[in-house]
Structures are given as structure tokens and as C-alpha cells.
Amino acid sequence: MRKIFNEVASLDKKCYEKFSLNEELLMEHAALALKKDIKKNIKAFDSTVLIVCGVGNNGADGVTLARLLQNEYKNIHIYIPFELKSQMAILQYKRLKLLGLNFIKDLNKVKKVDCIVDCLFGSGLNKPLNEETNTIIDKLNEFNSYKIACDIPSGIDNKGVIKTTAFKANKTITMGALKLSLFTDSAKEYIGKLKVANLGVSDIIYENDSNMFLLEKKDLKLPFRDTKNSHKGSFGHACVVVGCKKGAGVIASSAAFNFGAGLVTAIVHEELQLPYYIMQSHKLPSNVTAIALGMGLGLYDKNELKQILNTNVAKVIDADLFYEELLLDYLNQEIILTPHPKEFCSLLSLAKLADINIDTLQNNRFEYVKMFCKKYPKVTLLLKGANVIICQNDKLYVNTLGTSALSKGGSGDVLSGLIVALLAQGYNYLQSAINASLAHTLVAKKFQGNNYALTPKDLIKGIKSL
């Protein structure tokens, strides 16, 4: 689990004021991190490296890199399309001129490049790109090269929004610490692999406290059974309410059983053809320890819904319930909500927090998640997307491990089943959401078939061998 920050200028400032480091020293370390990655991935001396530099300190990182790469490769091209503005960029440019490196004036004359380093803009971009910059980025994206973004791909602004175009990197080397703008859904297409560059001091010294975190594979805590003296009741009784779209409830029930719940009961109005290990009942059993409802719910008796929601056990809510006003009565208690963007827009509207469309939400995912969880601090919210956001009160977690293979009907039902299984076994609300989400995404990542072919059955099978 790694800390995420809204910005790092304050962290840089701490290095200057508290540890007597300076801007130039941090810049040298930033350029060294870029150089190290290039040397690792571009082996041949006769390779061509193109470094595209902007007017500020991100551009200065690129100019510094060019100096460090001198004589490491046959062709080092530096392209500076606009007049430099920052004092550090001007200083680094002066040094480069004295060394006699090769500046190019026309990007269209460059025919073959082995490596491109994008140093146009850093994570502080706060305005739309002009037409000339868009043209430059589009041209860079056309090259069949190994592409590195310095700090963040140019075109992604300080909120993680792409207004026109963005540099599509194979790897992003971000400076000092992780920034929240790296983790929007739209940014995911452009980031590539993500690495944090050390700027001369350890993370412990460089970073401050944060209430935002990036989840990693090693954070997964599976429900292994360490107690020898146990029985099926030791691992909880999960119940899944099966609505009129019965497949959703069946999938969730199977997922819950395969993720360690000792007992699983499908709450049904009519007998279904279910796996023999899934029990069926018309009402909640007295020993239920967690409930999942909403998936495939469709038209369901409101009084019966209220009875289920009033049951004093842990619950995970999904899908159709996010369109029901009665849900508002239960948002001041501990509960897990797992909406996708459209459902979250409905929930925001019901809660009278915002009346927005999906595009507006997707451009401000973190803002609206924080807004909702501030109003309902007992709720654990899991917002689905290319990157999953999990938030409880003022703590926010991002899971970037998902793939497009999960963009299939039934994937969310599996997730609900995994969450209710962990709730049933005694995980708390936040632990259940985090660990179920990690398991869900890691199984999809490990899937060996074509990424368009993943099914809920494959996910459930994969859970067994994580």
C-alpha cells in the first residue's frame, strides 16, 4: 500500500527548507531515474533517443536528462518547441549548449526513434493544450518507439482529465511520490507501467501523512483457515437475495461459497436449479451473518426489502437498489455500497448531493466519492471503474489492478459474492471491500484465455487458486 498525494510541491518545499536540499539536486535525481530506465530498456549504442521538453521544470528535467545521456547513444535529439520560462530550464539549457548536443527544430524530419521521453508538462497542468501542442503530442504518439512520460503523460491535467489528447506512454516515471491525477479512469489508457523516482531522500522522509492509498497485490489478505478446531458455522452464513434476474443472485451465491463462507443460502421465491452446496430459503435464516442484495433485483416487494434491510447483520448493496429512495434510510449505518458510474449518479441524485451525468462523474470521480463519504461517513463505498475507488469516511483507496476483461455481465455479481463472503467470515466493512476487490481484479489479471472471453465462472474458479 503506497501513499497518494494531491500534489508534491509541498513535499519538495519540505526538502528545501528542512533538509537543506535544493531544486537542482532534486532535478538531477529525477533525470537520473529517467536515464536508468532508458539504459535498462534501450541497449544498442546506435539507438536514437528523442527528448521533448516544455517551458517549465518538467522541461528542465528533460534537458538535464539529455546532458546525462551524452555519449551513451549515437543520437540524442532534444526538441524544445517553445521558449523556456523557468530559471532551472534556462540554466540546464545553457549547460547543454556548452556541451554541443543536438537540438532539432522540425519534428516532422525525425523518421525513426527508438525512445521518446515526454517532458512537456508535469502534473501541475491546469489549462487546455493549444493546437500546436496537441499536434506535437499526436505526432509523438505515431512513432513506434519505447515511450517514457516524465512525471505524468502530457495532456493529463492536475485533476487527471484529458481535454483533447495525451501522450501515450509505455512507462510513466513520476517524481517523488504518487499523485492522485495518475489514477483517473481516463488516465489509465496513457500511464503504462508506473514507477516513482526517488529524488535523493527516502520515501519516509520525503512523504507526509496521507489519507489516500494505492492498493498493491501484497495487500491482499485471503480468508485462509488457520483454526484447526472449527466447523462450517465458524466461517459465517452468507445470504444472497435473488431477484427477478435470477442469474445475478446465483453467480453471487456461488462466488460467496468459493471465497470461504461456511454456509450460503439463496433467498428465493421459487425453487431454482442451483449447485447442491447452495441452500435455498424463502426467508432469512436466524443464523445469517451477512447479506448481499440488489444484484438482479428488478421488481421486488418493498415491504420485504425493508424487512431484509432492517436485519441487524452486515450487508453489501449493489445494482438495482441504487435507484430506490428507501435506501436513503440506511445510509447512516455501516454498510457497503458497490455502484458502477451510472448507479452512483443515481445515488448522488437521491441523496441530493449532485444531479450529474456519467461524463461529469468520470471527470471528477474522486471529488464525488469524497463528497458522498463525507455526508455518510459510516458507508464503505466501492465505485467500480477502470480503477476501483474504495472510500470510508476520509480514507480513500485506489485499486488499479483491474483489466478490461472484467467488462462483462456478471463480473459485478461475483464481486458482491466475494464481499458478502468476507463479511460473513468476520472481516470488517473496509477490509471486506478492499480484499474482495483485490481478489476480483487479480483473478482477472491472471486469466490465461483471451481477455474478451472471461466469464463469471472463470472468476469463481480463479478465486480457488489465488
Give domain limits for the chain. 2-8+19-210, 218-463
124 is in an annotated binding site: yes
Length of the chain: 466
How much is the mean pLDDT over the chain?
95
The answer to whether 394 touches 211, Cβ cutoff 8 Å, is yes
Q: What is the CATH number of domain 2-8+19-210?
A: 3.40.50.10260
Burial category of 331 from C-beta neighbours within 10 Å (exposed 0-12, middle 13-18, buried 19 and up): middle
Q: State the Cα–Cα distance between residues 137 and 107, nearest whole angstrom.
A: 11
pLDDT at residue number 100: 81
For 63-85, the pLDDT digits (tens) are 999 999 999 998 999 999 999 99
298 is in an annotated binding site: no
Q: State the DSSP H helix or E strand holding residue 388, giving kind and residue range, or none if neither.
A: strand 388-392
pLDDT at residue number 263: 98
125 is in an annotated binding site: yes
> In this structure, what DSSP letter does residue 278 have?
S
Low-confidence ranges of the chain (pLDDT < 50): none
130 is in an annotated binding site: no
118 is in an annotated binding site: yes
59 is in an annotated binding site: yes
Q: State the Cα–Cα distance between residues 241 and 218, nearest whole angstrom.
A: 32
**CB under 8 Å to 408, separation ≥6 — which residues?**
454, 455, 456
- For 236: left if phi > 0, alpha if psi spans -120 to 50, otherwise beta; the answer is left
58 is in an annotated binding site: yes
pLDDT at residue number 126: 87
Which overall architecture, per CATH, does domain 218-463 show? 3-Layer(aba) Sandwich (3.40)
**CB under 8 Å to 152, separation ≥6 — which residues?**
121, 122, 123, 125, 172, 174, 179, 181, 182, 187, 191
pLDDT at residue number 226: 87
Q: State the Cα–Cα distance between residues 252 and 240, nearest whole angstrom.
A: 7
Q: What is the DSSP secondary-structure string of 447-460?
A: --S-TT---HHHHH
57 is in an annotated binding site: yes
pLDDT at residue number 392: 98
451 is in an annotated binding site: no
- Main-chain phi, psi angles of 239, to 5 degrees: -120, 135
387 is in an annotated binding site: no
Q: State the Cα–Cα distance between residues 182 and 125, nearest whole angstrom.
A: 12
For 4-32, the pLDDT digits (tens) are 999 999 999 999 999 999 999 999 999 99
Q: State the Cα–Cα distance between residues 200 and 203, nearest whole angstrom.
A: 9
